[in-house]
Amino acid sequence: MRRVSATAARWRVPLPGGPVLDSPHARGARPGSMDLTLIQSLAVPGTTKIVLLSLDGLGGFPHPDTGRSELETARIPHLDGLARRGSCGLLRHVAPGVTPGSGPGHLGLFGYDPLRYLVGRGVLEALGIEFELRPGDVAARGNFCTVDAEGRITDRRAGRIPTSRCVELVERLREVRPAGVEVLVEPVKEHRFVLVLRGTGLSGRLSESDPQATGRPPVPVHALGPEAERAAALVNDFVGQARHLLRDAAPANMVLLRGFDQLPELPRFPTVFGLEAAGIAAYPMYRGLARLVGMDVLKTGATFAEEVATLEAHWDAYDFFFLHYKDTDKAGEDGDFPAKVAALERLDALVPPIEALRPDVFAVTGDHASPAVLRGHSWHPVPLVVTGAYAAADAVERFSERACAGGSLGTFPAHHLMPLLMANALRFTKFGA
């Protein structure tokens, strides 16, 4: 494992596109903002350890019968104990009223303003299957769909064909060979696949082929800038060949493409914060997001208990651990209130082994809310507790949406959490004399 050297972790490592911070005059092009360049200039080396536990889709909503949310229903003595001992608040991801996807939700937790650091759906879809995107690759989210004899869309999801059929049809699409570029197609689930164009001089600045409506034919893709003309022609060529290859494959006899994008150039998390950082996640999407910001992604198992074992095994090797727990979100998306309560209780039982490692700073929160009553992500702010020697207990005695709303940390943007954790870990120097 690499150790960040004291000097590299402190002052002099420039961010991509950002100046080195050695005088007030060099403080970059966005005066008045707390950006990653400023954060990097404040970060100092330390020996403290931070654990950030993201309970996916943590936030819930009161059940109409009981008036109590999933968190308020669950027996979660250890999470409540953290709330009693630590500082509580609510995290708002993206912006008020805005429901975050998993990508922006986690980028915010990692300290990246999700309105500033945009990651396209194609890239997220590729991360979700742990496809090793390379810089310059153009990725798109693909759907198999159904078209009629005149080529008009009759079903945008091809009757949600089984994943096994998706795998077969992706095999066919791999026969497409546009000139001078490599085409990679990967099945995802049901009617979904990932398309990646690999070659030089490509751009992801492309419109979508999905008209987001039935009764109309797919739309030819066009370049959103001159640098994308070649990619547009290649994509339209791919779509034409796909139509031919799928002509007898109804209901999956055509493809729709959207969310074209390339890997964003994100400042590296370990560089910005001066932390040796590891991501531990059972699900590929979250491993991909951790890798996207430059964390080491640790090999782990399929359960949260295995994630905790991985944490224990690598405890000495890192300063920062991102742990991800998926079950809360799954239950919320299924609209299964009791399942979400059970997921919270299962998680709660695994809090003590994390605490036993005695992290200097331990934060528990989520990437967005997924209330069972809404059967999906929502815009509601997400409970947060921060424990550590310098996070004072406030009046909050339970870990829930309503209790945390009265916490001393208030409601604040998710991308401000990392600076707060850095401060609590005594890893920030003073700003100004």
Binding to its own copies (CB under 8 A): which residues in 71-130? 90, 94-105, 113-116, 118-121, 124-125
Beta strand 87-92 with 138-147 is unpaired
The two tokens of residue 374 are 């809404």
Q: How many positions of this chain bind its own copies (CB under 8 A)? A: 92
> Which residues, numbered 161-190, are part of the site for its own copies (CB under 8 A)?
none
> Which residues, numbered 250-289, are part of the site for its own copies (CB under 8 A)?
259-261
Q: Which is nearer to its own copies, 155 or 401 (CB)?
A: 401
> Which residues, numbered 299-358, are part of the site for its own copies (CB under 8 A)?
none
Q: Is there a contact between 112 and 129 (Cβ–Cβ < 8 Å)?
A: no
Q: Is there a contact between 156 and 215 (Cβ–Cβ < 8 Å)?
A: no
Helices within 174-277 (DSSP H only): 229-245, 269-273
Q: Which is nearer to its own copies, 15 or 311 (CB)?
A: 15
Classify 209 as helix, strand or coil: coil
> Which residues, numbered 130-149, are part of the site for its own copies (CB under 8 A)?
141
Site string for its own copies, 348-387 (x = CB under 8 A): -------------------------xx-xxxxx-------
CB of 395 to its own copies, least distance (A): 7
CB of 392 to its own copies, least distance (A): 5
Read off φ and ψ for residue 189, nearest 5 degrees. -155, 140
Q: Which is nearer to its own copies, 238 or 304 (CB)?
A: 238
Instruction: List the one residue out of 59, 121, 100, 126 whose CA is nearest residue 331.
Output: 59
Rg (CA), the chain: 23
> Which residues, numbered 194-223, are part of the site for its own copies (CB under 8 A)?
204-208, 212-213
The secondary structure of 149-160 as a DSSP string is TTS-EEETTGGG
What distance in Å separates the CA atoms of residue 267 and residue 329, rounded to the nearest whole number? Answer: 28
20: Cβ contacts below 8 Å, ≥ 6 apart: 11, 12, 13, 14, 26
CB of 254 to its own copies, least distance (A): 20
Q: Which is nearer to its own copies, 125 or 276 (CB)?
A: 125
CB of 205 to its own copies, least distance (A): 5
Strand partners, 321: 51, 278
Q: Is there a contact between 82 and 351 (Cβ–Cβ < 8 Å)?
A: yes
Instruction: List the one residue out of 128, 130, 146 whose CA is nearest residue 256.
Output: 146
Q: Which is nearer to its own copies, 76 or 206 (CB)?
A: 206
Q: Which is nearer to its own copies, 52 or 298 (CB)?
A: 52
> Which residues, numbered 392-431, are part of the site for its own copies (CB under 8 A)?
392-395, 401-402, 405-412, 416, 418-424, 428-431
Site string for its own copies, 27-56 (x = CB under 8 A): x--xxxxx---x---x--------------
What distance in Å separates the CA atoms of residue 197 and residue 188, rounded to the nearest whole number? Answer: 17
CB of 402 to its own copies, least distance (A): 6
